[in-house]
Structure 1
Amino acid sequence: MKVIVFADVTDPWAYIGSTRFERAAAMFSILTGEPVELTFRAFQGEPDEPSEGRLLMEALAERLGGRDKVELINAQVTAAARITGIDLNFDEAVQANSFDAWRLLTWADESGPGFQRDLAHQLWRAHFLEGADIGDHFTLATRAALVGLELETAEALLSSTEYADEVRTQVETGRSLGVTQLPYVAVEGQWTLTGIQSQNDYVQALHQIYTEWKGSAAPEA
């Protein structure tokens, strides 16, 4: 089954939900023998987010109306992440625009199996755990190199406007689909799973979709 996951590398719910879905897809494949081909696509919730090296907590407090509200939201996210086995460190997270990260991720998707997924998780960890600025080109290029992509090619790509149109198209596609919650999972272009769910719920949903998908593909008697 082919699956597209709309996400963002600066969205913690997308990080948590995508991780749960990937694990569910792996379990589903083990149980059924049906491979799941997963591709990430960009959906920027804050497309005009600046990349200025400012602490994320300060920016969110200003946007949402106070640090207390931000800390309450972050506590909920951190608890959900902990259940999933993900560590978050909001105190050191840096505000960043993810547009260039998505240009790199789009290239990674064309570079061979596994590169995009590995890079996405590198960027999520960099942003939410290590306090790295994923709006910075050097940070992006070195993370690409860590997953086996060519450093010089990554640097050249980031210095250009390559894949910019592709990323804009991905974001516009998400808007046309009515994406409001991340992750947004589209299976075989027909079935959708919106927002974060438990790993078990994802497994059950994949089984149901698989049954319907195979049923619709069966030849008529």
Structure 2
Amino acid sequence: MTTTLKIDFVSDVSCPWCVIGLRALDQALERVKADVRAELHFQPFELNPGMAAEGQEITEHITQKYGITPEQADANRENIRRRGAELGFKFSMASEPGGGRHRIYNTFDAHRLLHWAGLEGAAPQKALKEALFTAYFTDGQSPASHEVLVRAAAQAGLDAARAGEVLSSDAYADDVREREQFYLHQGIHSVPAVIINDRHLVSGGQPPEVFEQALRQIAAQG
């Protein structure tokens, strides 16, 4: 008998640990697919809701926000790169030609587009999320750019013209803000936050084994 679990994946498209968490969750779901079916929904969270449209240089931003040295920031990025590689995702380094994250950007419009994609279906929403992760972390493109967002929507199989219409308006802005506030009021202040069946929380970019154990335990509870 297969158990269906509702999974809300609260995250930001500019969060590297969210990439790692999603990849690990995917691997865990593959391991338990004989027993567990997932209804996966992506929920919005902005790490930097006040970020200006032009963004901020990444090392400057991280050292200011977290009070660490540039050397520590570089070490953290290398750790993330290794974790990503283990899970089959390429985090390009800033030193690579045409790659790497050089800046932190505002992601509100990306979340509006993801909300619309979710109304179109779970599969296109996930495909868009993955396309946005690749655009930013692998290709070094801005998730604040409407051109980048429309291209990612097309890659996800969504209607590019409709995506452009969503972005050129304020569509779904209130919905995204409502969702963001809901999770903040639920005590979510860091991401990824993986909420299963509205009750069970797995925080952070955990290894696949941690997600697998949680999925099996929750499914066993019926």
Q: Is 2:24 the counterpart of 1:20?
A: yes
Match of 1:83 in 2: 86
1:113 Cα deviation (Å)? 3.4
Q: Report deviation, 1:62.
A: 4.5
Select the structure that is richer in strand: 2
The residue that corresponds to 1:47 in the other structure is 49
Q: Which residue in 2 is equivalent to 1:97?
A: 106
What is the one-letter code of the residue matched to 1:88? F
Structure 1 counterpart of 2:158? 149
Q: Secondary structure at the match of 1:40?
A: strand
1:128 to 125, 137, 140: 137
Unaligned runs of 5+ in 2: 95-99
Distance 2:144 2:25 in 1: 26
- How far off is 1:151 after superposition? 1.0
What is the letter of the counterpart of residue 102 of structure 1?
Answer: H
Three-state SS of the structure 1 residue aligned to 2:171 is coil
TM-score by length of 2: 0.89
Whether 1:110 and 2:119 are equivalent positions in the alignment is yes
**Contact map agreement 1:96 1:133 (CA 8 A) in 2:** yes
What RMSD, in angstroms, separates the aligned Cα atoms of the two structures?
1.6
Deviations 1:105-163 (A, max 9, x none): 00001112310101001101111110111101111011101111111111111010001
Indicate the residue corresponding to 1:6 in structure 2: 10
Task: After TM superposition, give the deviation of residue 208 of structure 1 in Å.
Answer: 0.3
Measured after TM superposition, the shift of residue 58 of structure 1 is 4.0
Number of residue pairs the alignment of both structures matches: 211
Q: Which of 139, 149, 157 does residue 148 from structure 2 map onto?
A: 139
Match for 2:10: what amino acid?
A: F
Contiguous gaps of at least 5 residues in structure 1: 215-221
Match of 2:196 among 187, 197, 209: 187
Distance 1:16 1:45 in 2: 16
CA–CA separation in structure 2 for the residues paired with 1:65 and 1:185: 27
Question: Counterpart of 2:61?
Answer: 59
- Bigger Cα displacement from structure 2, 65-74 vs 13-22: 65-74
TM-score relative to the length of structure 1: 0.89
1:44-82: CA deviation from partner (whole Å, max 9, x where unpaired): 121112231654234334544542121122122122212
Distance 2:145 2:129 in 1: 15
Look up the SS of the partner of 1:36 in the other structure. Answer: strand
What is the aligned partner in structure 1 of residue 40 from structure 2?
Answer: 38
Deviation at 1:189, TM superposition (A): 1.0
Contact 2:41 2:122 (C-alpha < 8 Å) held by counterparts: no
